[in-house]
Amino acid sequence: MEQEEGSTVIPTINRHEFTIFFDVTNGNPNGDPDMGNMPRIDPETGHGIVTDVCLKRKVRNYVEITREQGEGHRIYVTEGAVLNEQHRKAYRSLREEDVDKFKELKPKDRAEASLLTHWMCDNFYDVRTFGAVMTTKVNCGQVRGPVQFTFARSIDPIFSQETTITRQAVTQEGADKDREMGRKHIVPYGLYRMDGYVSGHLAEKTHFGPEDLELLWESLENMFEHDRSASRGQMALRKLIVFQHETKLGNAPAHKLFERISARKITDAPSRSYADYEISVNSEDLPNGVTVIER
Q: For the chain, which residues make up each domain, given as ranges?
A: 2-70+144-294
CA-closest candidate to residue 23, choices 184, 158, 189, 140: 189
Tens of pLDDT, residues 11-66: 789 999 999 999 999 999 999 999 989 999 999 999 999 999 999 999 999 999 99
Q: How many CB atoms lie within 10 A of CB 150?
A: 15
- pTM listed for this prediction: 0.92
The dihedral built from the CA positions of residue 220, 225, 231 and 235, taken in this order, carries a sign that is positive
Measured over the CA atoms of residue 142, residue 148, residue 154 and residue 157, the dihedral's sign is positive
Q: What is the pLDDT of residues 64-111, one digit of tens each?
A: 999 987 889 999 999 889 999 999 999 999 998 889 999 999 999 999
